[in-house]
């Protein structure tokens, strides 16, 4: 059957799934693991920090969930292949694979050391590639439907001052995800491929886990709750979604502005670069070469509320019904007002 008319893959309900989550020791990955386990899924936790992973897995099991911890450096292709094998050994199969692991560094392009740049690409980009391929091989071997969910960012669509490598890797993740989706469609694989693009998220990552290259670090005052991103990920795990952006609609409008008027955007972004800096006593390594400060879903920044924009993307039918309902109520109110007059 032509890919033009092929039905979307039918994914299992959450409580019938086995979900592999990389970067599960903190932030979005940890929030997703906990939420998935609460929903009845068996979760395979992967990250470099084995001690923290084991503690998280024990907590999930103690609460009646199913979890196994498999320490993994996603930048190592063989290690990722072993992760897939061990997940199947533990639970018999894989239904969803979430490529979430990420590290980062702040600074202008001219300030970044080549080894640090390479290390981030190895984790953020190659980790996504290795995980996607391991999941796809499993799905093709089993013949069952599955989901590959890659975590991009709003900076998959534009570049932001002081977030050079993050912008570059997330552009690459977006391009790879789109290309993988084309292959899956062309080959007729029953695999859903989703790109999740969070805006600023209130995890330890933006501040505590990222390397700073000079006398300053990135200033992030507010972010959406990591649980909101986890909700988007798990929605994509049970219902095929091509792409979803999580966070402020205002930021999304700014992304559109950058596309339409790129030169003006660049001038505004460059002029505001100094405001994105905060002083630090000395440069920090972050978690580039070793795990750091794991076991937390949230950092120290303020947390934004729910995102109606995100909910509209995840539940378009409900949103359309709400809009129609509001319009109908408005019409009734207008008719009553006219009758009174």
Task: Mark whether 137 and 157 lie in a shared domain.
Answer: yes
Task: Mark whether 117 and 181 lie in a shared domain.
Answer: yes
160-182 pLDDT, tens digit per residue, is 878 888 899 999 999 999 999 99
The pLDDT of residue 341 is above 50? no
Which residue, 39, 48, 30, 44, is CA-closest to 12?
39
Task: Mark whether 252 and 121 lie in a shared domain.
Answer: yes
Per-residue pLDDT at 189: 97
Task: Mark whether 86 and 181 lie in a shared domain.
Answer: yes
182 occurs within a structural domain? yes
Per-residue pLDDT at 296: 77
Strand spans (E) along the chain:
18-22, 42-47, 66-71, 96-99, 104-106, 146-151, 191-198, 210-212, 216-218, 222-224, 243-246, 277-279, 302-304
How buried is residue 122: exposed, middle or buried, by Cβ count under 10 Å (0-12/13-18/19+)? middle
Task: Mark whether 172 and 200 lie in a shared domain.
Answer: yes
- Mapped onto helix, strand or coil, the DSSP state of residue 257 is helix
251-286 pLDDT, tens digit per residue, is 666 677 778 888 888 888 888 777 777 666 555 666
Running DSSP on this structure, what letter comes out for residue 284? B
Q: Which domain holds residue 26?
A: 14-306
Model confidence, pTM: 0.84
User: Tell me, what CATH number does 289's domain have?
Assistant: 3.40.50.720
Per-residue pLDDT at 303: 67
Output 187 or 295, whichever has higher pLDDT.
187
Q: Which two tokens stand for residue 237?
A: 């795990």
2 occurs within a structural domain? no
Q: What is the mean pLDDT of residues 309-336?
A: 46
Q: What percent of the chain has pLDDT over 70?
A: 74
Q: What is the mean pLDDT of residues 136-165?
A: 92
Output 254 or 296, whichever has higher pLDDT.
296
Task: Mark whether 337 and 228 lie in a shared domain.
Answer: no
Task: Mark whether 285 and 321 lie in a shared domain.
Answer: no
Task: Mark whether 197 and 116 lie in a shared domain.
Answer: yes
Q: In what order do the strands lie in the sheet with 146-151?
A: 66-71, 42-47, 18-22, 96-99, 146-151, 191-198, 243-246
Running DSSP on this structure, what letter comes out for residue 189? -
Q: What percent of the chain has pLDDT over 90?
A: 52
Tally of structural domains, the chain:
2
DSSP secondary structure letters along 113-170: -HHHHHHHIIIIIIHHHHHHHHHHHHHHHH---EEEEEE--GGGSS--TTBHHHHHHH
190-241 pLDDT, tens digit per residue, is 999 999 999 878 767 555 545 555 566 666 666 788 899 999 999 999 999 9
Average pLDDT, the chain: 83
8 occurs within a structural domain? no
Task: Mark whether 225 and 200 lie in a shared domain.
Answer: yes
d(C-alpha 71, C-alpha 80), whole Å: 10
């Amino acid at each position: 059957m032509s890919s033009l008319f092929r039905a979307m893959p039918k994914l299992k309900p959450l409580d019938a799934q086995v979900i592999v989550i990389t970067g599960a020791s903190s932030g979005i990955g940890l929030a997703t693991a906990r939420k998935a386990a609460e929903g009845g899924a068996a979760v395979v936790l992967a990250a470099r920090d084995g001690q923290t992973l084991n503690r998280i897995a024990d907590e999930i099991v103690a609460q009646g969930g199913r979890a196994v911890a498999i320490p993994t450096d996603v930048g190592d292709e063989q290690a990722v292949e072993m992760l897939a094998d061990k997940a199947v050994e533990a639970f018999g199969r894989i239904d969803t694979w979430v490529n979430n692991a990420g590290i980062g560094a702040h600074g202008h392009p001219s300030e970044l050391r080549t080894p640090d740049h390479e290390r981030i690409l190895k984790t953020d980009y190659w980790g996504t590639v290795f995980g996607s391929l391991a999941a796809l091989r499993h799905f093709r071997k089993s013949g069952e439907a599955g989901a590959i969910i890659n975590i991009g960012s709003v900076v998959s669509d534009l570049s932001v001052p002081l977030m050079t490598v993050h912008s570059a890797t997330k552009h690459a993740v977006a391009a790879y995800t789109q290309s993988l989706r084309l292959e899956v469609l062309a080959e007729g694989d029953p695999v859903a491929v989703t790109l999740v693009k969070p805006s600023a998220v209130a995890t330890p990552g933006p501040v505590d886990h990222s390397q700073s290259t000079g006398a300053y670090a990135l200033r992030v005052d507010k972010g959406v709750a990591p649980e909101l991103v986890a909700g988007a990920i798990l929605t994509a795990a049970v219902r095929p979604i091509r792409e979803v952006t999580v966070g402020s609609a205002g930021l999304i409008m700014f992304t559109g502005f950058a596309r339409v008027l790129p030169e003006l955007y660049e001038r505004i972004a460059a002029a505001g670069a100094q405001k994105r800096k905060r002083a630090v006593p000395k440069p920090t390594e972050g978690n580039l070469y070793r795990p750091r400060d794991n076991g937390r879903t949230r950092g120290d920044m303020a947390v934004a509320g729910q995102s109606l924009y995100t909910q509209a993307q995840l539940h378009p039918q409900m949103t359309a019904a709400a809009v129609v309902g509001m319009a109908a109520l408005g019409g009734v109110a207008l008719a009553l007002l006219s009758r009174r007059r």
